[in-house]
Amino acid sequence: MEFKNMCTRKIRQGLIDKDFSAKEIVDYSLERINNSEEKIHSFIELSPDLAYKKAAELDDFVAKGEKLPPLAGSIFAFKDNMNLIGTHTTCGSKMLENYDSTFTASCVKHSIEAGAIPIGKNNMDEFAFGSSCETSAFGPTYNPWDLERVPGGSSGGGAAAVASGQVTVALGSDTGGSIRQPGSFCGVVAMKPTYGIVSRYGVVAFGSSLDQVGPFTRNVYDCALTLNALSIQDPQDCTSHPLDVDYTANLDKDLKGKKIGVIPDFVETDGIAPDIKAAYKDAIAKLKDLGCEIIDVSLDHAKDAINAYYILGPCEAFSNLSRFDAVRYGFNLPNSNLDSQTSNSRGTGFGNEVKRRIILGAYLLSSGIYDKYYYRAQQVRSLITQDYTQAFEKVDALVMPTTPNTAFKLGEVSDPNTMYLSDIFTVSLNIAGNCGLHLPTQIGQNSNLPVGIQIVGPAFKDENILQIASNLEKEYKFYENYERITRNF
């Protein structure tokens, strides 16, 4: 029995019908990972003991005739900034190479309670600082579509694991596009929910006002079902919002009368690859055919989002990373006095990109600089949020590119500023707190790589973008053509 292309519904139903056992699913997944991991390197750590323990629990439920939870039997992987007892949580860094998780993150706990089988922890850019999954202290992850190319970042390991059929679902974190951009590069459904829908408790913070956990899946239904499991109010996260929404409920409803906003300036921007433009225009045409009204809107301050983000993000990262001081936990390089011990340990334990952002954050928060940059970035944040609010008074959702380009080759982008521009279409959502989803639609004629679109919705209307994505998915049938890639591993 092959499980690589099975969706969550088929896996659960197969367990109920006793077509296979949860143990067999784990056996298959581990074998598939072992056969492909040398090429892809999507994992930092596997957790077979935890997987078999959960499988045994599910098989016991079946034997007793008990009702199975909604995600029963689905193989899940978690970005390695999410704590899980029984695993390390390294954040892709030498600083935390030997750190044992002392508790389990709420998003991980909720997934497992919903029946997910925890197979391991995915590779990532160090402390989520990166757009290519090349900054990990444990080596890069490779894009399954083309092993010479990056999978995107910072959640590249999760996107690659889902794309290659190693797992059913992977959870990533998105601070400025770190779920949606790798989803675009690897050709999988990738969602950043509204800020506050998914608890951040137990997820090592990059930018606390920007971070959000979300899923990678091979279809929209699996994404919506996973969000059902994750969207539980958590008293341990003060930003967690109370909701009672079934995100699968409206997936089959048609789109007649839906108002879709487009931003003409976005696609006329220099530097957007022809395949990206073609996918965007084709999706707009498909939406018209589905009965949507296409309306031009403007986001006047979106062009400033990348600048605001690379002020706000490093400032929050500087604060969050101050806890890694070589005293309480983390990499420790002993020295004769506390000052040199902390300095030398951080200098050795952190990679170059992490140190770059720490230094930038320290500078931006320094006296005389704070008002000039950080305060103004917060003002821009308010303006961007206002632009989205005004746009969503006219439309139900926005459609835009996810990335300006398809996946680039490893080592091809060495300039940090060029790398940062990979997130030009994604960062404004994190700044405003809105929801966004990347939907793969086709293979680019020029690049021969997956391309798609980004669907953006107002805060706490995540069901809207899932409904739109589900309708488009039926038109493109990208998932049905998925065998092209997964057969190679």
Please, how many CA atoms are within 13 Å of residue 206, restricted to the half-sphere of its CB?
35
CB under 8 Å to 63, separation ≥6 — which residues?
none
Decide: helix, strand or coil at residue 436. Answer: strand
- Produce one character per residue of 36-60: b if its CB has 16 or more CB atoms within 10 Å, e if not: bbeebbbbbebbeebbbebbeebbe
Decide: helix, strand or coil at residue 452. Answer: strand
Residue 79 bears catalytic tag: yes
What is the C-alpha separation between 265 and 268, in angstroms, rounded? Answer: 5
Q: At what angle do helices 274-289 and 462-476 cross, to 10 degrees?
A: 100
Q: Are 193 and 221 in contact (CB under 8 A)?
A: no
Residue 74 bears catalytic tag: no
Q: Are 228 and 184 in contact (CB under 8 A)?
A: no
What is the per-residue DSSP string for 39-104?
Answer: HH--EEEE-HHHHHHHHHHHHHHHHHTPPPPTTTT-EEEEETTB--TTSB--TTSGGGTTPBPSS-
**For the chain, what's the residue count?**
489
Closest CA to 298 of 402, 392, 425: 392
- How many angstroms separate the Cα of 291 from the Cα of each of 127, 286, 397, 436? 43, 9, 14, 21
Closest CA to 237 of 271, 267, 211: 211
Residue 178 bears catalytic tag: yes
At 237, list the tokens. Answer: 């996260």
Q: Could you tell me where the beta strands, DSSP code E, fall in 279-395?
A: 293-296
Contacts 24+ apart (CB under 8 A), 245-251: 245/462, 245/463, 247/462, 247/463, 247/466, 248/221, 248/224, 249/463, 250/463, 250/466, 250/467, 251/220, 251/221, 251/224, 251/466, 251/467, 251/470
Q: Are 213 and 230 in contact (CB under 8 A)?
A: yes
Closest CA to 175 of 42, 312, 299: 312
Q: Which is the catalytic residue, given 54, 79, 109, 258?
A: 79
- Beta-bridge partners for 189: 217
Q: Which is the catalytic residue, given 173, 178, 231, 428?
A: 178
> Sign of torsion, CA 175 180 182 183?
positive
Q: Which is the catalytic residue, given 154, 184, 447, 470?
A: 154
Residues carrying an active site annotation: 79, 154, 178
